[in-house]
Structure 1
Amino acid sequence: MTVDYQQLNGIALAYLGDAVYEPFIRQHLIEIGFTKPTKLHHHATHYVSAKAQAALIALMETDGVLTETETEVFKRGRNAKSHTSAKHTDVLTYRVSTGFEAVFGYLQLTEQTARIAELASWCIKQVDEGRVSNGR
């Protein structure tokens, strides 16, 4: 069965995108030496929190990282009506992070695995270099 990503709403794309992005972060944290669950979870928030993802999208826009199509997908995710609310951030930041995750969902559905790895690596580098605040 082929899924037409253009027919999916941004929330569905973000749901998948969250699951696509997180394994890159988990593997990175283990590779740099974090092994205890509490430390892994604490450090993961620097990469996967809504605040961190919103900051990463802002950097992507500044650095011209996203393609035109990826930018359109981001906007669809950001503008999607969500029935859940942000737990640790404001609504705008939460919506921007939903757009971030939608990009990864779109890339997964369109089988762009090299691009997923490229963007995940880019995001990790930005956090590790301190271009993103602590993400909390």
Structure 2
Amino acid sequence: MERLFNADCNPKLLSPLTLAFIGDGVFELFVRERLVCKGNCPVNKLHKNTVAQVCCGAQALAAQKLLPILTEEEAAVYNRGRNAHVGHVPKNAQIADYHAATAFEALFGYVYLTGNIERLRELFELVCEANA
């Protein structure tokens, strides 16, 4: 599978917050597709299950599971995302969790934009195992 829009884009030139912006959407699409493919259920339940998996705390926990298996390049992207100046932290989030979630999203954005969809699936499967 290739990227959805598939225009020329060099993720190495993008800021970590820009990578997190796209990674947020990529990860949420993975979560939504996984939930829908598990079976038909009310949309409200799908929404609640999605929010539980894409929230800051859940992403921070998932990031901890991925750290040991990241390549050097992926770890560098993760660290750039974690150290990014986010401007604000939602009142219901811990600062450390928010930074880890931003890093997690930056990682997903970077891997997606490199076109390495197989690696993206691998990372997502590891996240799913962590949530099982």
Quickly say closer, same or farther: Cα 1:66–1:11, change in 2 above 3 A: same
2:105 pairs, out of 101, 121, 124, with: 101
**Same amino acid, percent of matched pairs:** 33
Number of paired residues? 126
Q: Offset of 1:59 from its aligned partner? A: 1.6
Contact 2:31 2:50 in 1 (8 A): yes
Deviations 1:15-48 (A, max 9, x none): 0001111111111112223521221121113321
Rounded to whole Å, the distance in 1 between the matches of 2:110 and 2:120 is: 10
| Unmatched 5+ stretches in structure 2 | 1-6
Matches within 5 A, 1:46-125: 46-61=52-67, 64-125=68-129
Residue equivalent to 2:20: 14
Contact 1:47 1:124 in 2 (8 A): no
User: TM-score, normalized by length of structure 1?
Assistant: 0.84
Greater shift, 49-58 or 32-41, is seen at: 32-41
Contact 1:14 1:98 in 2 (8 A): yes
User: TM-score, normalized by length of structure 2?
Assistant: 0.86
| Unmatched 5+ stretches in structure 1 | 129-136
Q: Offset of 1:50 from its aligned partner? A: 0.7
